[in-house]
Amino acid sequence: MKEVILHAGIPVKPVYGPEDLAGRDFARDVGRPGEYPYTRGIHPHMYRERLWTMRQYIGLGTPMETNARFKYLMAHGQDALNVAFDLPTQLGLDSDHPRAEGEVGMVGMAVDSLADMEEAFAGILLDRVSVSLTINGMAAPITAMYYALAEKQGAAADRVVTTPQNDILKEFIARGTWVYPVEPSLRLVADLIEFSARHYPRSNPVSVCGYHIREAGCTTAQEMAYGLAIAAAYVELMLARGMDVDDFAPRISFNFTCWGKIFEEVAKFRAGRRLYARMMRERFGAQNSKSWMFRSLIGGGGSAFTVQEPENNIVRGAYIALAAALAGAQTMALPTYDEAYTIPSAKAQLIALRTMQICAEESGAADTVDPLAGSYFVEAITNQMEEKILEELAHVERMGGIVEAVKTGAIQAEVARQAYLFEQKLAAGEIKKVGVNCHVGDRPAEADRGVELYTFDPRVAQAQIAKLQGLRRQRDNGAVAAALRRLTDEARGPGNLMDPIMAAVKSYATLGEIADAMKTVFGEHKEPVKF
């Protein structure tokens, strides 16, 4: 009989029974949906009352091109947006910066100023649609642009729902779009959380993102453990500012991936909700039940998809959607079948959106809350997953805590190690990939093609740069200079920087100018390399 071991290192038995749940208290550990510790979901009726939000991740070329794709997806039933920014925007570089050459508009839309944000959301009312902004190192100025645009549209602040990712610790660990050193970066995270809590009460000013850490190579248990450790670090950051935990914790959100073994993913989220609720109530003393709720976007990881036989990725996407639904997602996003090749085509994004809609309307996954509850197998591996997550959290503490582990590069080294081990298992065929290392057969060469490739037009960068240079000529440069001086001056002190950032944004200072105004004080991050 073959041995089966989950990605978290949990061995799977051939058969499970009541003996696998011995010693567990059902009421305490599993409970009812919508009740502490939320193992079964954070709402009593879950999808019977409200379906998960569907938001495909998109941003390409210019703001105008992205605006057209937003409207295309919304016309086909997408009820929220998830914005991708190009690398120069993520790194705080204007489109005409030498380091931006060749990257403008390539992997997301280019945003140089408030004028670009106005163009991207033309005809889209920000008090009627929820928008995620996948931005981290530049979360404060990009979110300031979003708030300024909402203000210009006349949207009431308590009607604006946006979720900037704003998870810089994850960037240091996994993605690398940092700008400033760790401490000033954390200051900006806290500034945005504090400002949003006080002025935009329905905003989710941080989305703790285990997703990218998993994509970088960590295990399922590590993904959840590192996410919980990062969330705890941000809570401690805000408490150190004197804020009450219940003033900001209800708006903390999460972004986790969901690919691989369906039941392992379900167990990961059930265990994670339970651990988060206990952490917030018992460790941090939160009194508001909303502070205990693990609200998550669950999206498929693009690394789960393959170049070989790309149509198979449509099937993989369907299983990811099912796993996310069974895991209790509040929001869902799927990679597209062409993910391994290109920027998603409109056709591929529509298929991914239809996959989520079919899961919601036809599969029955939304008919009842937590349909897997009571399964001997699922409950047993939920308990084992909890133990694995706690082991990983203890390991983080032995490193000195998540912030210290990021500063030293210890977490980065562990994720890299796990990525190497995973690739070894994939190459050896221990982890099966249909059409890649098993069931390959003799397929014609065209079986790995037939994907519509995104053709990047070099005129996109030229147009974006021309627009940027025109903005610099037309704006009030005296007002811009004054706003940037204020920002630099206030960066030298301890105060919240969101007000001066807002003022700079409204003067049409560019993202690069705003980033540089703070870089003068903060400097730039240098990555610790550890093997």
Range of the domain at 290: 18-55+161-440
Task: Give which of 135, 302, 272 is closest to 207, Cα–Cα.
Answer: 135
pLDDT score, position 225: 98
Q: Is residue 124 part of a domain?
A: no
159: region left, alpha or beta (phi > 0 left; psi from -120 to 50 alpha): alpha
Q: Is residue 50 part of a domain?
A: yes
Integer Cα distance of 120 and 118 in angstroms: 6
- Residue stretches of the chain with pLDDT short of 70: 444-449, 531
What the block records as the tokens of 35 is 């009740």
* CATH classification of the domain holding 203: 3.20.20.240
Burial class (CB in 10 A: 0-12, 13-18, 19+), 412: buried
Integer Cα distance of 511 and 341 in angstroms: 30
Which DSSP symbol is given to 130? E
Number of domains in the chain: 1
pLDDT score, position 455: 82
Distances (CA, A) of 63 to 72, 120, 177, 509, 515: 14, 4, 21, 17, 20
Q: Is residue 498 part of a domain?
A: no
Integer Cα distance of 164 and 199 in angstroms: 15
pLDDT score, position 528: 87
Q: Is residue 462 part of a domain?
A: no
Sign, Cα dihedral of 420, 423, 429, 432: positive
| Residue indicated by tokens 């937590």 | 370
Integer Cα distance of 253 and 293 in angstroms: 9
Q: What is the pTM of this model?
A: 0.97
Task: Give which of 88, 199, 191, 208 is closest to 147, Cα–Cα.
Answer: 199
Integer Cα distance of 404 and 530 in angstroms: 14
pLDDT score, position 457: 83
151 near 177, Cβ under 8 Å? no
Which ranges constitute the DSSP H helices of 76-138? 87-90, 114-120
Angle at 108 (CA atoms; ends 107, 109), nearest 5 degrees: 140
Which ranges constitute the DSSP H helices of 366-476? 376-398, 402-408, 410-428, 459-474
Residues 6+ apart with CB under 8 A from 205: 143, 164, 166, 192, 193, 195, 196, 197, 248, 251
Q: Is residue 240 part of a domain?
A: yes
Integer Cα distance of 345 and 349 in angstroms: 6
Q: Is residue 254 part of a domain?
A: yes
Q: Is residue 87 part of a domain?
A: no
What the block records as the tokens of 194 is 């504090």
pLDDT score, position 450: 75
AA identity, residue 54: M
Sign, Cα dihedral of 501, 506, 511, 513: negative
90 near 115, Cβ under 8 Å? no
Q: Is residue 168 part of a domain?
A: yes
pLDDT score, position 531: 60
Strand 296-299 to 130-133 pairing: unpaired
Distances (CA, A) of 322 to 254, 300, 434: 19, 11, 19
